[in-house]
Amino acid sequence: MADRHINLFKCCSFLRPLGYLMILFVFAIVGVSYYAVVVLVWGPVVVRGGARGVVSVLVLIVFHVLLTLLMWSYIMVVFQDPGSVPENWRPMPEETREEATSTAQQLYVALDASSSALSSSDEGERSRYCSRCQNWKPPRCHHCSVFLSHLGQKCILKMDHHCVWMVNCVGAHNYKFFLLFLIYTFLEVALDTVVLLPSIIQLFGKSNHHSFSPGSVAVTFLAFVLNLAFCLSLFGFLVMHASLLLSNTTTIEVYEKKKAVRWKYDLGWKKNFEQVFGKNKALWFLPIISKEDFDSIPALQGICFPVGENEEP
């Protein structure tokens, strides 16, 4: 009898070329929105001056600031390695792990040593081994069959999901950039929707006194529809990831968390936030992780993770 076993993970390989098309789609949406908002609608208002000219200058300033932060975050997510298991990494022996836990715990000054511990591997994860990568996996690490580096497919540290929009996995090293991309994209598309709405009302209202050509009408309408659609869809996605962030959970871990009486990685919303965004408040809303935060917060490195006070390391 022929072997009917099908490796579903191999079917995911088609997502890689699709991802490159999605990147072009992102830039296309940005281009259409930029042309509609800046060139067609609000740019000419600046030229005409007056009170509306002042408003249009403010609109364009906010538009360009959000666009810059959006694209900066997007580029960081696309090109930043999400985090891979160090070569020949092995779970530490009990004695060594306790020493490493103590040292790392002292570095992470945001956590009280008396109320939390660091888990580099626990009883359920001590034997986790990836047969594809031929390597051990730290806690919260998962193999991605879509991600492709010069070494081939690999395991991703604290993997959240593979994002087809970025042709990259979202993991320990770029999750902050991904969240910032969601935030700034939502704010940008919400702004675009609001500032294009008066023009849409004018175009399709009873009054047909407008200076738009048929091509300009089509571009403005397309930009409005795209931005409205993304605004509505991103709102739910942003709320979901905000909930995951504040509970210190990844998308992959949602089902596992449902089976737990108390989620062991939940340290309280403030500490959970710092696990991703760091402690340097000046960099919270920039797609940058300081060396000080990366070196002092084990979770950002993706190997060790603090656990709650009622959990054993």
In terms of C-beta distances under 8 Å and separation of at least 24 residues, what long-range contacts does 284-287 make, across chains too?
285/69, 285/180, 286/69, 286/72, 286/180, 287/69, 287/72, 287/73, 287/76, 287/77, 287/176, 287/177, 287/180, 287/181
Specify whether the CB–CB gap between 186 and 231 falls below 8 A: yes
Specify whether the CB–CB gap between 111 and 267 falls below 8 A: yes
Could you give the CA distance from residue 290 to residue 34 in angstroms, rounded to a whole number?
A: 32
Q: Which two tokens stand for residue 55?
A: 């408003």
Residues 6 or more apart whose CB falls under 8 angstroms from that of 287 comprise 69, 72, 73, 76, 77, 176, 177, 180, 181
- Match 């939390």 to its residue by tokens: 116
Residue closest to 230 by CA, chosen among 179, 191, 202, 266 = 191
- Match 């070494």 to its residue by tokens: 151
What residue type is assigned to position 43 of the chain?
G
* Alpha helix stretches (DSSP H) within 247-268: 254-259
In this prediction, residue 119 carries a pLDDT of: 56
In this prediction, residue 274 carries a pLDDT of: 94
Strand positions, DSSP E, the chain? 117-119, 129-130, 135-136, 142-149, 152-156, 161-163, 168-170, 305-307
Kindly give the confidence (pLDDT) of every residue in the chain, 313 residues in length, as a single tens digit, with 9 standing for 90 and above.
444 444 444 555 555 667 678 889 999 999 999 999 999 999 999 888 888 889 999 999 999 999 999 999 999 999 999 998 888 788 766 544 444 444 444 444 444 443 345 555 444 444 578 887 778 889 999 888 776 554 456 889 999 998 888 888 999 999 999 999 999 999 999 999 999 999 998 887 755 666 678 888 999 999 999 999 999 999 999 999 999 999 999 999 988 888 777 889 999 999 999 999 999 999 999 999 999 999 999 999 999 898 876 554 4
Specify whether the CB–CB gap between 66 and 184 falls below 8 A: yes
In this prediction, residue 106 carries a pLDDT of: 47
Q: Which two tokens stand for residue 303?
A: 């190997």
Q: What residues act catalytically?
A: 163
Could you give the CA distance from residue 232 to residue 253 in angstroms, rounded to a whole number?
A: 25
Whole-prediction pTM value? 0.84
In this prediction, residue 54 carries a pLDDT of: 92
Q: How far is CA 174 from the centre of its chain?
A: 7
Specify whether the CB–CB gap between 175 and 276 falls below 8 A: yes
Residue 58 has phi, psi (to 5 degrees) of -65, -40
